[in-house]
Amino acid sequence: GHLTVGFFVYLIVATALFAVVVLFLTPYLTKWFFKRSNNEGTTEFNFVLAILFVAGAISLFVGLEPIIGAFLAGLALNRYIYDHGPLMNRIRFTANALFIPFFLLSVGMLMDLGVLISSPKTLLTIALITIVAIGSKLLASWVTSKVYGYSKTERNVIFGLSTTHAAATLAITLVGYEFGLFDQQIINAVIIVILVTCILGPYLCEKYGRKLAVAQDKESLDDTLPERILITITNSDTIESLLDLGFVLKKAKKTEEPIYPLTVIQKDLKQADHEVAQAERMLGHALTYASGADVPVRLLTRVDHNIGWGIERAATEERITTIIVGWDGSVKEGQKVFGRVIDNFLEHTYQRSLITTIKHPLNTMERVILILPNNIVHKPGFEDSITIIKGIVSQLNATIQGLVIRDDLEAYRKASEQVHPNVEVEFQSIDCWNSVYKNGLNDIKSTDLVILLSARKGTVAWHPELETLPKKLASMNLKNFIVFYPTE
């Protein structure tokens, strides 16, 4: 009775302005806040809740339900809260322990069991609504599977993932009920739909998702070594940034193995008691941080006359496949690439290694610039490296640009398209190394992550420029870059 032209004009304009403010202002505010929060877990969690409740409150003034504001807040915050980090773990814990139980309790209290069994007409209404709710999802998954040529197993996974109804369905129904459009029968029917679909959806996903995973494992199971990530910790200030990268790599490699934080003490065994105690305190911080992200860790301490030898020994003894090391960008005169310690273990190990300088939180990265030397596409381990890098990009919800030095772009495009995840890489041809510095890296921002896919000396993709490139990147005052050495 009050649907005038003015109402629709106000609703459309107010909704558009609200969406623009939430979707465009929130990311800038989030980046600014995360850069200054120093990874303080409680502060970041409170910030997310503040954004959530403010967006929900403003949506009421616009004329929308709070769930719409909460949804827009989730879209805006999504790329800054990566899936396997401590912040996401805290959000999930709060949801599972507090919000979802109260939601289910409130839903149960809405139901009137007397109305439910009062007449055959009520039961017929409930049955029809349930059949239509489930049948429409089944039809949609069947049509999708026919269009894209999916198998029966894939079709059932799609149906299981899409069939569940919960909060949004109830919100719509409650609004209709408050305005007298629906009666108690419809409320009961919708609650039955929520109950049935929330049992059916997880069952289908568990059953057919397992079949799909097993089939994919049979196709791709060619590695004999378990994927284990070793993080060398030498400075308490870099623990959290290195662990964050480890969490992202763990998710990219889809491994259930724990992360291995390592400290190496350069002392004689008889004089190392005090240093071992200090190392244990530093590893305790790593354990606390990883526990917040619900990531298992296995703490390692080694005492050796040479730190590089200690890293090598730990990598061999624990059958490590990936080594992550922090680097401050400084190189003493007379040393080759990174300094004596890192250069030493790179020369004597075969594992993939990531030498990192990351000064801003990973979840604020918006673009990844991948530098690809000539002939790197022919190197064993290239596809594996691209898989990992695309996995990082996918988790960060960033874009990726590949700078190819004097090589055939088509070979890189073909190799990239053959590996998962399905992340589009924008390849660009660079005629010489000087052009990389002048053109490729001339507009680097604090939200850019530069990754150099490098090569050890003596391999097909090695070039003398790779010996000096890390120092040049450090001298350019880049805030975030990784030198990635593939598995040999």
Q: Give a yes or no: residue 175 inside a domain.
A: yes
Report how far residue 35's alpha carbon sits from residue 33's, in angstroms, rounded to the nearest whole number.
Answer: 5
Task: Output the pTM of the full model.
Answer: 0.72
Residues 251 and 174 reside in one and the same domain: no
Tell me which of 202, 218, 234 is where a domain ends: 218
Residues 338 and 368 reside in one and the same domain: no
Tell me which of 329, 348, 367 is where a domain ends: 348
Average pLDDT of the chain is: 85
CA angle 170, 201, 125 (to 5 degrees): 50
Residues 23 and 64 reside in one and the same domain: yes
The reported pLDDT for the residue numbered 323 is 92
The reported pLDDT for the residue numbered 441 is 79
Confidence of residue 221 (pLDDT cuts 50, 70, 90): very low
Residues 154 and 295 reside in one and the same domain: no
Asked if pLDDT for residue 377 goes beyond 90, the answer is no
For the segment 416-428, the average pLDDT, to the nearest whole number, is: 86
- pLDDT, one tens digit per residue, over 263-289 is 888 776 666 677 788 888 888 888 888
Q: Give a yes or no: residue 353 inside a domain.
A: no
Confidence of residue 389 (pLDDT cuts 50, 70, 90): very high
Residues 166 and 37 reside in one and the same domain: yes
The reported pLDDT for the residue numbered 29 is 92
The reported pLDDT for the residue numbered 200 is 94
Residues 316 and 337 reside in one and the same domain: yes
Q: Give a yes or no: residue 354 inside a domain.
A: no
Residues 289 and 380 reside in one and the same domain: no
Residues 23 and 159 reside in one and the same domain: yes
Q: Give a yes or no: residue 465 inside a domain.
A: yes
Tell me which of 322, 348, 374 is where a domain ends: 348
Residues 24 and 73 reside in one and the same domain: yes
- pLDDT, one tens digit per residue, over 49-96 is 999 999 999 999 888 888 889 999 999 998 888 776 788 888 888 988
Q: Give a yes or no: residue 473 inside a domain.
A: yes
The structural domain count of the chain equals 3
Q: Give a yes or no: residue 204 inside a domain.
A: yes
Residues 52 and 173 reside in one and the same domain: yes
CATH code of the domain containing 19: 1.20.1530.20
Q: Give a yes or no: residue 29 inside a domain.
A: yes
Residues 201 and 268 reside in one and the same domain: no
Between 385 and 178, residue with greater pLDDT: 385
Asked if pLDDT for residue 431 goes beyond 50, the answer is yes
CATH code of the domain containing 310: 3.40.50.620
Residues 49 and 198 reside in one and the same domain: yes
Q: Which domain holds residue 434?
A: 359-488
